Amino acid sequence: MKNGTIQIYSGEGHGKSPAALGRAIQTACHGEYVVIIQFLKGKGLAESEFVKRLEPEIKIFRFEKSSEDFIDLPEERKAEECQNIRNGLNFAKKVMYTGECSLLILDEVLGLVDNGIITVDELRSLLSVKPDEMDIIMTGITLNDDVCLLADEVTRVETMQFKKWE
Cα pseudo-dihedral 25, 26, 32, 35, rounded to 10: -40
**Which residues, at least 6 apart from 163, have a Cβ–Cβ distance to it below 8 Å?**
none
**Whole-angstrom distance, CA of residue 41 vs CA of residue 20:** 14
Domain parsing of the chain, residue ranges? 6-156
- The answer to whether residue 1 scores a pLDDT higher than 70 is no
CB neighbour list of residue 131: distance below 8 Å, 6 or more residues apart: 4, 96, 99
Per-residue model confidence as pLDDT tens digits over 103-126: 999 999 999 999 899 999 999 999
Tell me which of 64 and 35 has the higher pLDDT.
35
**Is 70 exceeded by the pLDDT of residue 76?**
yes
Residue 91 has pLDDT above 90, yes or no: yes
* pLDDT cut 90: percent of the chain above it: 63
Residues 13, 158: Cα–Cα separation, whole Å: 5
Top-confidence residue, 54 or 138: 138
Mean pLDDT of 27-42: 91
In the CATH scheme, what is the code of domain 6-156? 3.40.50.300
